[in-house]
Structure formats: C-alpha cells, structure tokens
Amino acid sequence: MTYVISQPCVDLKDRACVDECPVDCIYEGKRMLYIHPDECVDCGACEPVCPVEAIFYEDDTPEEWKGYYDANVQFFDDLGSPGGAAKMGEIDKDHPMIAALPPQNQDS
C-alpha cells in the first residue's frame, strides 16, 4: 500500500508535501508530483499538508481518480528506485495520462 497523488496536483505542484516527506519519495514530473510506491513508508505526513487535497491513501482514492494509482506506479517504470527525489530534481516527463490532460485551471 502507498499514498497516491491525484488530479488536483496537475499543473499546481505546490510541493508542501515534498517538504514534509521524511523519506524523500515524492518526485517532480513536468506537470505533477508522484509518490514512489517502493520508497513510501506510509507515514501519511504528506496528506494533511496538501493545500488542494490531492493526496490519498491508496484504498481511499476517490473512484474518479483511481487511475492515478497506476500513473504514480508506472511513472517509475523506467526510473527504477532512484533512492531520493532531492537528487533527481524535476524529471522531464509525466505519465502519458497526465501529459494528455488539458491545462488545469488553478483558480483559488
């Protein structure tokens, strides 16, 4: 089990979750952040600090965003387990589902 970042993060990338994560497992893609399923220790520190409520425990992900679990997992298919997001910086890609989304309106 792991935490999942979903649609509200697309084109926002607030990064409060990155600052809160004790194991540095939240990686930055071009349009959203991704939680590495093998590096996440399920502490939950990221969830309450997300200003747009985009982070869910895997089993609690709303039905409309269930596909984001696969997007988070598959984002790392060719990256493997880098062992820390800080040393990677922004990764110049997104999962194809995310890349195909229209620009997200981030009005507050």
Give a yes or no: residue 23 inside a domain. Answer: yes
CA 35/CA 37 separation, integer angstroms: 6
Q: Are 35 and 24 in contact (CB under 8 A)?
A: no
Which CATH number characterizes residue 38's domain?
Answer: 3.30.70.20
Q: Is the predicted pLDDT of residue 83 greater than 50, yes or no?
A: yes
Q: Are 32 and 22 in contact (CB under 8 A)?
A: no
pTM above 0.75, yes or no: yes
Return the pLDDT at 108.
47
Give a yes or no: residue 101 inside a domain. Answer: no
Give a yes or no: residue 29 inside a domain. Answer: yes
Return the pLDDT at 1.
73
Mean pLDDT computed over every residue of the chain:
94
What is the per-residue pLDDT across 23-55, written as a single tens digit (0 to 9) for each? 999 999 999 999 999 999 999 999 999 999 999
Count of structural domains, the chain: 1
**What range defines the domain where residue 72 resides?**
3-86
Give a yes or no: residue 91 inside a domain. Answer: no
CA 62/CA 18 separation, integer angstroms: 22
Give start and end residues of each alpha helix (H) in the chain. 16-20, 46-49, 67-74, 96-99
Give a yes or no: residue 52 inside a domain. Answer: yes
